Amino acid sequence: MDLRLSEDQLMFKRMFSDFCAKEIRPRGEHIDQAEEPPVELLNKAVDQGFWAALVPESMDGCGLDVYTYTLMLEELARADMSTAVTLAAHNSLVVKPLLDHGTDDQRARFVPGLAMGETLGAFALTEPGAGSDAAALRTTAVRDGDFYRLTGTKVWVGNGGLAGLFLVLARADRGITAFLIERDTPGLTVGYREKTLGLRGVSFTTLYLDGARVPVGQRLGDEGKGLDLAQHALDYSRLGLGAMALGACERSLEEAVLFSMDHIQFSVPIAQKQIIQNYIANAKASIEAIRGLVTQTAWLADSGQDFSQLASITKLFSGHTAYEVTNKLLQVHGGYGYMKEYAIERYYRDCRALEIVGGTSQIQQYLVARDIYRAEGLEIRP
Amino acid sequence: MDFSFPKEYRLLRRVVREICETEIKPIAKKIDREHGVPSELVKKLASLGLMGVPFPQEYGGMGAGEIGYCIVAEELGRVCSSTTTVVGAHIGIAAMSIHLDGTEEQKRKYLVPLAQGRHIGAFGLTEAAAGSDAAAIKTTAVRDGNEYVINGTKVFITNGDIADTIVIMAVTDASLGAYGGITAFIVETDSPGYSIGSLENKMGIRGSTTAECVLQDVHVPKENVLGRFGAGFLTFMKSLDIGRASLGAGCLGGAQVAMEASIQWAKAREQFGVPVATKQAVHFMISEMFVEIEALRSLVYRTAWLIDTHQPHIMEAAACKLFGSETAGRCSNKALQIHGALGYSRDCEIERGWRDQRITEIYEGTNEIQRIVIASNLFRPYGVKVST
């Protein structure tokens, strides 16, 4: 066991870290207040490979292993959560399933645009009546010669407002199926943009499909294999959310440590108070626990083992822990923590999403318990 | 022992519930979005006597005591924490300090219009370097003939920009420290030299303004010294003690409504072919909310009773603030989780409740300070000094 980073991994980490610190971090407050995805910044990130993290070098991508990809998301989250979530959705939920499940033709057609920053990807699974119960989705895909006609409504589509390519899950004859649909497809309309508690720089939108005509060649994987494909993509997404929770907690700790050394009460920096020291120490302990989970899960993925359960555990633990950590570190800031000019205020709101997006904590709990009981021969219901 | 509310309190609750449901709840989202409690709403509250609930009728109040005031705070807390905060700063600390320590003339001149709601009150204690450590304030008041001249900058002052009357804590003798060196002054905000700096951009309670108040050579007649000269620290400690009970009451309302909304949503929202109300995880979250809410209700109204019957209440009031705010925190967080993605949307009142609640763990003495207050009172009989 050697957990040290390789030279390549170190190089990428430094490159990501430099760009995030220099370009993204100073814009975090603005992104939150403007409530718009940072388009210019995202375009700037193309050259550093942020859009092509998992794309193999043979296709002009970074060819990162999963572990290095988590390092990228950690660095992004440390700089700004909205930017991190935007790029994670693109890489984990669109590019990765396309690489894993797409035909050569599909990869040749769509990967270059996604990798070179021309096309942002969005993943459309959730529906008004199908949140935690994703399998209850009602969007239909009716075969019509060489096409499918897709009809239905998707909600909470991350990147919906910006995306050029949507990975949409719909119900076809043989079951739930994945499709790649371009934004300019007639019958596809991007609707309501959610106004959210945090992650205000992420464009979460409704997506209406009204008989949208999709060529058979844009079906991703076989008919009826959509849920497996989505599950696999969600495994990467959940691991990524853990990495972002890690970056967010690290940033929050950094903010709280600096504040507590600067802020003097009762004639001493509050860092001298035992209770503040305890808050800081507990936050650090939580951070290292998340890091351990993220690292172990990424190692499973990189060594070709099943990492689904550990991805759920990482998401479950890190989502809740990030809430608790940012909550306590906000408390360290006192009244200043409630003010928008302090980053902790934003991180606390941003991190609250981590117990909801990518499958609620309750769903992760179900998935983990299901696997445990299944091994004993008992099937449990959600 | 009789835990039932007498008829007049039940009537008060009914009146407040009605105005909350009909006049405040429909505009609560707008108050949050547009950063302001409309002055017409404050007038309406005043016309019902709700800007002076705890104060004696002879001073323009309702005469409903702390219990009555907690009922009002609880009901307001159900619908709009911004409004609760505006009223809380006005009644709970500003007018309360004049009620507790004011002279007859001061009460006639300042408490009456405050209690009647013709004037709005604010309380100016916190400074940039003096939050939890309130004794570290730097604002000074220097005697000049029959007046005092006040200089300094107060921050995070609720109602600072809309107040007619503000109670200002200032150092009158730095050599004497907190006890003896700080004096409270009643300041009229139209006095020359009083101005508003920036307004804070906050996570929540966005309808309640939080102002920087600048005092530059503000002249105040010596008659406006509130309480004993040099005893300002005691004045604000007493006011804050009482304010903490009603703060807990506001949290009670917020926690209760979060639970009620969660029950309704869980009943309506179907996943896996059944309402989520059939899920055990939801049952447990709601049960835990209920237990904490009922514990808080008992604590709040018992503390209000202690205050109304002039019994010691410092630890209990601190407990109201501490347990109330953390209960509201846990309840609003569970409620958000039960609401799922909807709870993360600003279209949902749960989202606002979650943001609004968070300040209650910080303002009017952080929860760390409440723990220190409780510990120092518990250790005092044993001669152990609990330092800050």
d(CA B284, CA B382): 41
Could you give all domains of chain B from N- to C-terminal order, each with its CATH number? 7-120 (1.10.540.10), 122-230 (2.40.110.10), 234-382 (1.20.140.10)
Structure confidence at residue B250 (pLDDT) = 98
Taking the domains of chain A in order of start, what are their residue ranges? Answer: 7-115, 121-223, 227-375
B351 touches chain A (CB under 8 A): yes
Q: Locate tokens 């449990």: which residue?
A: A380
Q: What is the CB-side half-sphere exposure of residue A234 using CA atoms within 13 A?
A: 24
Residue of A200, A332, A338, A339 to mutate, interface with B, max B Cβ within 10 Å: A338
The residues, any chain, with a CB within 8 Å of residue B24's CB and separated by 6 or more, are B41, B76, B79, B80, B83
- The answer to whether residues A325 and A317 touch, using CB atoms and an 8 Å cutoff, is no
B132 touches chain A (CB under 8 A): yes
Structure confidence at residue B290 (pLDDT) = 98
Q: Which residues of B touch A125 (CB under 8 A)?
A: none
Give the angle subtended at the CA of A196 by the CAs of A192 and A198, to the nearest 5°.
Answer: 145
Contact B272 A381 (CB under 8 A): yes
User: Has residue A1 got a pLDDT over 80?
Assistant: no
d(CA A203, CA A188): 17
Give the angle subtended at the CA of B327 by the CAs of B371 and B317, to the nearest 5°.
Answer: 45
Q: Where does A39-146 show beta strands of DSSP type E? A: 121-124, 140-144
> For residue A118, what is the DSSP state?
S
Beta bridge partners of B219: B149
CA-nearest of A193, A299, A290, A187 to A247 is A290
Q: How far is A301 from chain B (nearest CA, A)?
A: 29
Structure tokens at B51: 């800007």
Structure confidence at residue B248 (pLDDT) = 98
User: Has residue A229 got a pLDDT over 90?
Assistant: yes
Sign of the C-alpha dihedral computed for residues B280, B283, B289 and B295 taken in this order: negative
User: Has residue B1 got a pLDDT over 90?
Assistant: no
- The answer to whether residues B24 and B79 touch, using CB atoms and an 8 Å cutoff, is yes
Q: How far is A125 from chain B (nearest CA, A)?
A: 13
Q: How far is A309 from chain B (nearest CA, A)?
A: 20
Q: Locate tokens 């859009």: which residue?
A: A51
- Residues B219-257 pLDDT 10s: 999 999 999 999 999 999 999 999 999 999 999 999 999
For residue A132, what pLDDT band results from cuts at 50, 70 and 90? Answer: confident
User: Has residue B126 got a pLDDT over 90?
Assistant: yes
d(CA B189, CA B43): 19
- Residues B106-119 pLDDT 10s: 999 999 999 999 99
Q: Which residues of A touch B271 (CB under 8 A)?
A: 130-133, 136, 382
The pLDDT > 70 percentage for chain A reads 100
For residue B342, give the chain A residue with the closest CA. A196
User: Has residue A2 got a pLDDT over 90?
Assistant: no
Q: Please give the ipTM for the structure prediction.
A: 0.93
**pTM of the predicted model as reported, rounded to 2 decimal places:** 0.95
User: Has residue B169 got a pLDDT over 80?
Assistant: yes
User: Has residue A209 got a pLDDT over 80?
Assistant: yes
Residues of B noted as catalytic: 364
User: Has residue B30 got a pLDDT over 90?
Assistant: yes
For residue B297, what pLDDT band results from cuts at 50, 70 and 90? Answer: very high
d(CA A330, CA A251): 12
User: Has residue B99 got a pLDDT over 80?
Assistant: yes
For residue A293, what pLDDT band results from cuts at 50, 70 and 90? Answer: very high
Q: Which residues of A touch B386 (CB under 8 A)?
A: none
- Residues A65-120 pLDDT 10s: 999 999 999 999 999 999 999 999 999 999 999 999 999 999 999 999 999 999 99
The residues, any chain, with a CB within 8 Å of residue B51's CB and separated by 6 or more, are B42, B45, B87, B90, B91, B114, B115, B116, B117
For residue A138, what pLDDT band results from cuts at 50, 70 and 90? Answer: very high
Mean pLDDT value across residues B167-186:
95
d(CA A322, CA A320): 5
Contact B341 A381 (CB under 8 A): no
d(CA A67, CA A62): 13
Tell me whether the CATH fold assigned to A121-223 matches the one assigned to A227-375.
Answer: no
User: Has residue A11 got a pLDDT over 90?
Assistant: yes
Q: What is the CATH number of domain A121-223?
A: 2.40.110.10
Structure confidence at residue A3 (pLDDT) = 87
Tell me which of A162-171, B234-243, B257-266 is least confident: B234-243
Q: How far is A188 from chain B (nearest CA, A)?
A: 23
What is the architecture, at CATH level 2, of domain A227-375? Up-down Bundle (1.20)
Q: Which residues of B touch A331 (CB under 8 A)?
A: 361-362, 366-368
Q: What is the average pLDDT value for chain B, to the nearest integer? A: 96
- The answer to whether residues A203 and A193 touch, using CB atoms and an 8 Å cutoff, is yes
Closest to A352 (Cβ–Cβ): which among B200, B204, B344? B344
Where helices occur in chain B by DSSP H, the ranges are 7-19, 28-34, 39-47, 65-79, 81-87, 96-101, 104-106, 112-115, 178-181, 232-268, 280-308, 314-339, 349-358, 367-379
Measure Cα distances from B228 to B102, B123, B183, B310 in Å.
9, 17, 8, 21
d(CA A115, CA A135): 30
Structure confidence at residue B312 (pLDDT) = 96
Tell me whether residue B58 is exposed, middle or buried, using C-beta atoms within 10 angstroms of its C-beta: 0 to 12, 13 to 18, 19 or more.
exposed
Structure tokens at A289: 């626990």
Mean pLDDT value across residues A137-153:
97
The residues, any chain, with a CB within 8 Å of residue B100's CB and separated by 6 or more, are B227, B235, B238, B239, B242
The residues, any chain, with a CB within 8 Å of residue A7's CB and separated by 6 or more, are none
- Residues B299-341 pLDDT 10s: 999 999 999 999 999 999 999 999 999 999 999 999 999 999 9
DSSP string, A126-161: -BTTBSS-GGG---EEEEETTEEEEEEEEEEEETTT
Neighbours of A211 (CB within 10 A): 13
Homologous superfamily assigned to A7-115: Acyl-CoA dehydrogenase/oxidase, N-terminal domain (1.10.540.10)
For residue B132, what pLDDT band results from cuts at 50, 70 and 90? Answer: confident
- The answer to whether residues A69 and A52 touch, using CB atoms and an 8 Å cutoff, is no
Sign of the C-alpha dihedral computed for residues B64, B65, B71 and B72 taken in this order: positive
User: Has residue A382 got a pLDDT over 90?
Assistant: no
Surface of B (263-302) touching A: CB under 8 A: 270-273, 279, 281
Q: Which residues of A touch B340 (CB under 8 A)?
A: 131-132, 356, 360
Q: How far is A8 from chain B (nearest CA, A)?
A: 38
Q: Which residues of A touch B370 (CB under 8 A)?
A: none
The pLDDT > 90 percentage for chain A reads 97
Residues in chain A, overall count: 382
Closest to B340 (Cβ–Cβ): which among A131, A338, A341? A131
